[in-house]
Each structure stands twice: as structure tokens, then as C-alpha cells.
Amino acid sequence: MGSSHKTSYHHRLFIGLVVYSWLLVGCFAVFQYYRERRYKADELDAQLQLINNRVLTEYDTDSVFDPDVARPYPFKDMRITVIDDDGNVVYDNSLDRLPDANHLDREEIAAAMKSGHGFSTRRHSQSTGQTYFYSATRGRDCIVRTAVPYSVPLQEFLSADYGFLWFMIGITITMCFFGYWVTRRAGQNIARLRDFARHAEAGDRIYDSPGFPHDELGEISGNIVRLYSRLQQAVIDRDREHRAALRQEQEKIRIKRELTNNINHELKTPVASMALCMETLLAHPEMDAAHRNDFLRRSLASCHRLQSLLADVSAITRLEDGSTAIARTDVDLSDIVSEAMADSTDAAAQKGLTITGTCNGPAIVNGNEALLISVMHNLIDNAITYSGGTVIDVRLECTKDNAILTVADNGVGVDNEHLSRLFERFYRVDKGRSRQAGGTGLGLAIVKNAIIWHGGTVAVAHNCPSGLIFTITIPIKH
């Protein structure tokens, strides 16, 4: 079973940086160590070469070598050896008896024979039994070799300066602390991006953008977050639109179901009345003419009410479906208002009402004349039938963009609980009185839907001091 613990990106990056830094410093320190030792060896060799050249200048193979030529010696116990071209030792100030061994195989001698000079940093002498630093220089017919015993002072001279090494170690430690801070900051940013990716994968809603730094990583991370936020918002908007469309569709289904139920309920009354009248007439063929005519009048009234109901249902169904079959023409609304007022004068007078009003026309609208006529007759007939007042005031005014039509009465009005529901289909404030008056309960619903179809608005409010006022706003054609 694998471990659930994983080394963080910060620690992996920091460990890699530390290992790389120490490897780099280690390689540089080793290089500098050998480079400095070589430099000091070259420096010591240069000093010994000067002595070798002095000896070569004074040395003459035909004469006896004077050892005082190289004095004073710059190094304690310095050894001077003269070797001929055949490799035989002809002089050595450290030996009482010259060695018989050939010296051409010595490292420094071989180098001097080849290039003119050579040195050996540390070699054990078979002649004296000591370890020396050798430097040899070739002359015209001999080789002069000087050697310094490998003592503690010489070792210290040839050793590298460790101050630089400690300086590099200090710099590296400082860099490690700085690297820890940098990698920790980068690790935190990666962790933020990882957490964001985890939430995005889970489909969580992200409200706040993580605090990324102002660098390349922060810019890339910010772009990713903004892209996800836009996609997330698009999904949210799509879901919202889908839910709204679903609710709208469900509302349409509910309204149609309610309309069907209401139509069924409304149809029962006139159909039942007609059936009752017909059954009574059939059951009593001997009925006198006066009663027979009364039953026929009732049956005809129910037939007219049924016809009106079906016409209203057809109209409101077409309006709610947004039918494109309804023709549009340019209509002068002031003519329709004037004609509706004139047509309703007699009916209003029979109810004891007077119709007054003004039309500041013309008011040209792009709409359907039959629907606008229906709107006016429904509003005026509604006021005549149910207001219970004495005056119906109709006014038409035009603004820059709209025609504003008001139909007001001074009747009894309605309570606030009914005011907001007057435009609902089959809604009646007084159901018994409405049916007795022959109303279908669809008049104001037709008004509302017809005005909406024309791109306008309709509202109802309490009139002052009494009654109701209906206000219609319809866009006019410029």
C-alpha cells in the first residue's frame, strides 16, 4: 500500500537547489584548491629556477664548482645537485659520496632534458632518504637541480588558502536560505494552483481568486482562474436560463391546464341551461306559447353567452401563443376610441352613466384594429356593467414615444385584495353578479394580452375619490 504522504513541490525544488549549489561549490572548491597549489608550486619553482640559473652561469665543467655561488640560500637545508648530460651526478652539497645511480629517469631531470626545466612537487630521495621539492634547469652541458626538504613550513606554503573556501561555504549557506524563501514562495503558488485545480475538478463554485504573485507564474495562474471563472459563469447562466425556460414551460402547461378546467367549468352553465330548457320543452309539448317563448329566450341567451365565451377563448389563446397570423396595420387609435365611446353611449345611458372624454390625436400605432377595438369595448363595457358609478371618463394623450389611454369611473371600485388579480382569466370579484350580467370572465385578460402583443403595458389603480382607473401605454409609430 503506497504512502499517502508526498514531498511537496517546495521541498523537492529546495532539495534540488541545495544539492546543485553544494555540488557546484564543491567542484569549484576542488578546482580552486588544485589551481592554487599549482600556482604556489610554480611560484616556488620560479624562485628555485633563479638559483639554478645563477649556478649555471658560474659553473664551468673545466673548473671546480664553488658552492658559495648560490649563497645565501633562501631556504633552509636547500640541496644543490649538478648532473651531466649522461645523468651522472658531478656535484651534490648534501652528500659526502656521490651516488652511482643514473638520474636521467628522475621526473624533474626528464622534464628538464625535454623542455629546459622541470620540477617535482614531492618525491622521496633514495640518496638521502628525505622527501624534497625538486626544480631542475638544463644548461649547455649539464643540469642544475635544487631541492627543498618537504618540511612543515613548506607544506604550509604549498597548501591552498582555506579562507576562500570558507567564504564560498558562507555564500552557499546564504544562498540556501534565500533559495528556501524563493522555493517556498513558488511552492505556495503551486499549492494555490493545485487547490484551485482540485476545486475546479470537483466542480466547486470559486468566488475569490487566489492571491498569485505578480510574475509569470502568477500571470499564467490568473489567466487559468479567469478562464475557469468565465466557463463557470457560462455554465451558471446556462443552468439559470434552462431553469427559467423550464419554469416558463411549466407555467404555460399550468396555465393551459387551468384554462381548460376553467373553460370546462364556464361551459357547463350555458350548456346545462340550454339542455334544461330543451328538455322542459320536450317534456311538455302542451305548454302554452308564453312559457314556451320564455324557455326559448333563455336558451337563446345561453347560446349567445356560449358563443361569446368561445370567441373570447379563441382570442386569448391566439394572443398567449404569440400568433404571427394576427395581421398588423397602421391604426389611428383616436378613431377607435371615439367610435367605441359613441357605440357605448346608449348602453351607458340605460345604466344611468355618462361617457365623457377627450382625444388628442391622431395617435398612429402599428397593430391590429380588431384587437384594439376589443380592448376599448371591453374596458368601457366593464365600467358600464360593474362600476356602479355615474361617469366614465376616457382620455387619449400622446407623448413623444407613446400613446397613453385612460378609462376611469367614479363607481364603488374593488378592494385591494382583488385589484392585482383583475387581469386573471375567469377571475370575478362578484361571481354571481358577473354571470348574471353575461360576463365570461375573460374580458380584462384579453385586454392585458392584446396590449402586451402590441408591445405596451396596462395597469389598474384606485381612482380618486372613488372607482377604478385603467391606464394603457402603447408605442406610437413615428
One domain for residues 318 and 346: no
Burial 146-158 (b: 16+ CB within 10 A, else e): bbbbbbeebeeeb
One domain for residues 369 and 381: yes
One domain for residues 321 and 358: no
One domain for residues 139 and 24: yes
User: Which of these three, 325, 356, 378, is where a domain ends?
Assistant: 325
User: Which of these three, 144, 162, 180, is where a domain ends?
Assistant: 162
Sorted by sequence, the CB contacts under 8 Å of residue 239 that are 6+ apart come out as none
Are 404 and 398 in contact, with CB atoms under 8 Å apart?
yes
The 10 Å Cβ neighbour count of residue 230 is 10
- Asked if the structure places residue 197 within a domain, the reply is no
Burial 307-316 (b: 16+ CB within 10 A, else e): ebbeebbebb
Any idea which residue has 635544487 for its cell?
Answer: 146
One domain for residues 282 and 375: no
- Asked if the structure places residue 172 within a domain, the reply is no
- Asked if the structure places residue 210 within a domain, the reply is yes
One domain for residues 43 and 137: yes
What is the domain-level CATH number for residue 89? 3.30.450.20
Q: In tens digits, what is the pLDDT along the chain, a chain of 478 residues? A: 444 456 676 678 788 888 888 888 888 888 888 888 888 888 888 888 988 888 888 775 445 556 555 566 667 788 888 888 888 988 888 888 888 888 888 889 999 999 998 988 888 888 888 888 999 999 888 899 998 888 777 777 777 677 777 888 888 888 888 888 888 777 777 777 777 777 777 767 665 555 666 667 667 777 777 777 788 788 888 888 999 889 888 877 876 776 666 666 566 767 887 888 888 888 888 888 888 888 888 888 778 777 766 776 676 666 666 555 677 889 999 999 999 899 889 889 998 999 998 888 788 999 888 888 888 888 998 889 888 889 999 999 998 889 999 999 998 888 888 888 888 877 766 644 444 444 566 778 888 888 888 889 999 999 888 899 999 999 998 7
- Asked if the structure places residue 320 within a domain, the reply is yes
One domain for residues 333 and 471: yes
What is the domain-level CATH number for residue 209? 1.10.287.130
Number of domains in the chain: 3
CA distances 124 to 112, 130, 193, 378, Å, are: 18, 6, 67, 132
Q: What is the dihedral of CA 18, 21, 27, 33, to 10 degrees?
A: -100
For residue 286 the three cell numbers come to 302542451
One domain for residues 332 and 392: yes
User: Which of these three, 325, 350, 372, is where a domain ends?
Assistant: 325
One domain for residues 155 and 247: no
Expressed as residue numbers, the domain containing 338 is: 327-475
One domain for residues 334 and 297: no
One domain for residues 301 and 352: no
DSSP 220: H
One domain for residues 334 and 319: no
What is the domain-level CATH number for residue 467? 3.30.565.10
- Asked if the structure places residue 32 within a domain, the reply is yes
